[in-house]
Structure 1
Amino acid sequence: MIRILAVGKLKDARLAELAADFTRRIRPWSDLEI
């Protein structure tokens, strides 16, 4: 059980990291549109 929760937290951290990278890539375009 604890192992599964730890994996879930790692996945959430990874998703948050990917989301941050994604927004960093898109932000220049949204800045240009404004």
Structure 2
Amino acid sequence: MIHRIPIQFFKRIKFIKIGFLLRFNLNFGRFLKYGIL
């Protein structure tokens, strides 16, 4: 049987993903705001 992965592991991955997406969106928005103008 496969060992159950701890919930904290999923939580940590989810937080890292959300943080990365937020940072990426902020950087992308800043790039659009300053790069195109």
Q: Decide: shared fold, TM above 0.5.
A: yes
Runs of 5+ unmatched residues, structure 2? 1-5
Structure 1 or 2: more helix by fraction = 1
Give the number of aligned pairs. Answer: 31
> Gaps (5+ residues) in structure 1?
none
Identity of aligned residues (%): 13
RMSD across aligned positions (CA): 0.8
Which has the higher Rg, Structure 1 or Structure 2? 2
TM-score (norm 2): 0.72
| Structure 1 runs of 4+ with >4 Å offset | none
